[in-house]
Amino acid sequence: MVKTGIYGDFDEHNKILDNVLDIPELSLVGIYSPELSCKELDFLNSKIKSYTQVETLLDEVDAVIALSPLSDSLHLEKLVKNSKHVYFEPSSKFYYEDFNKLNNIIDEANVKVQAGLHYRFNNTFLSAKPFIKKPKFIQSKNFKHFNFDIDSYSVLLDLLILDIDMVLSVVSSNVKNIKTSSTSLNYGDPDIINVRIEFINGSVADLTASRIASGNYHEISFYGDKNYVEIDLCNNKAKFLKKRDLQNSKLLFQENIGDLIVENINIKPNNSYFDEISSFAKSIIYDKEPEADIDKILKTYEIIDSIKDKLRLASNM
């Protein structure tokens, strides 16, 4: 088993602590969390040892699960230089240059580093992914209800990045061109962003994300030559649609809409946090590349940085 420690914000611990304890490949040594209250310390110590000095924890572990606010590029660099395997939650403060620098250090340290890009392990997406074959056109709409008084997140780095990463996981081609447009209702950061990503193989992704919405809505569709896959990530539903022809006449147990045959995709239950961290653990045990390794996240953040530049350019015109 891999001796593992968690460090970061206490609220984040609650999301994954029990999952980590259930992963057989990991032996959870303890937790370091800055500025814990006495009540929070008592709660943590009832489950696992709590450390007051991060150096003490690092001396006793081989791997670290780094959560906000201790998952920025400087903390990751320190962990990797100390030869620790790292699972981390990407921060909105990351830039492509950060990951490029980190990539060189990872090669020298010979450790496994996995980014917490959760939609790669989303049960609805994973269940639908086998039906997605060489998509020619991809369209997504990711709208989230936002309360400006209490919420704080970026449309680009908290919403759009998830869809970009999903697209890159199914399109095996380099990017040819990126077009962007955005608007803001409060004259600050963009509230709505639309991105059109054109790939060298001819595939096109049209992605829209917004924090101006009366409710949450997140759907993404993958269109191939003869069929398409429609995924509803808010309601955990997915459909496979194809045109009816002479060989595909109406069937009793299929939904028919016009000349389309609609098949509901069976969504396999899973726990994305468990599967994600379990995948990280197996990459260490079996010495294989993590599902969301630095090379993959470099491609995602290269697109993110290009979008940032184009949005800045548009705002200065």
pLDDT of res. 36: 62
Contact 52, 306 (CB under 8 A): no
Torsion angle of alpha carbons 95, 80, 58, 40, nearest 10°?
A: 20
**Spans of all domains in the chain:** 2-111, 120-270+304-315
pLDDT in tens, the chain (317 residues): 999 998 887 665 566 787 888 899 999 998 888 766 555 555 555 667 888 888 999 999 999 999 888 888 888 999 999 999 999 987 666 777 888 888 889 988 999 999 888 788 899 999 999 999 999 999 999 998 876 655 567 788 778 988 999 999 999 999 999 999 998 877 577 889 999 999 999 999 999 999 888 889 999 999 998 899 999 999 999 999 988 765 655 555 566 676 788 899 999 888 888 999 999 999 999 999 998 888 888 899 899 989 989 988 766 54
Q: Which of 50, 52, 57 is nearest to 17 (CA)?
A: 50
Check if CATH label 3.40.50.720 holds for domain 2-111. yes
Q: Which fold has domain 120-270+304-315?
A: Dihydrodipicolinate Reductase; domain 2 (3.30.360)
pTM of the model: 0.85
For residues 238 and 128, the answer to whether their CB atoms sit within 8 Å is: yes
Cα dihedral sign, 207-89-79-282? negative
pLDDT at residue 317 in the model: 46
> CB neighbours of 274 closer than 8 A, spacing ≥ 6?
19, 22, 23
CA distance 70 to 32: 10
Q: Inter-axis angle of helices 96-109 and 294-315, to 10 degrees? A: 160
**Closest CA relative to residue 142, chosen from 129, 127, 126, 125:** 125
What is the SS3 assignment for the chain? CEEEEEECCHHHHHHHHHHHHCCCCEEEEEEECCCCCHHHHHHHHHHCCEECCHHHHHHCCCEEEECCCCCCHHHHHHHHHCCCEEEECCCCCCCHHHHHHHHHHHHHHCCCEEECCHHHHCHHHHHHHHHCCCCCEEEEEEECCCCCCCCCCCHHHHHHHHHHHHHHHHCCCCEEEEEEEEECCCCCCCCEEEEEEEECCCCEEEEEEECCCCCCEEEEEEECCCEEEEEECCCCEEEEEEECCCCCCCCCCCEEECCEEEEECCCCCCCHHHHHHHHHHHHHHCCCCCCCCHHHHHHHHHHHHHHHHHHHHHHCC
- pLDDT score recorded for residue 158: 79
Burial of 101 (0-12, 13-18, 19+ CB in 10 A): middle
Q: Which amino acid is at 102?
A: L
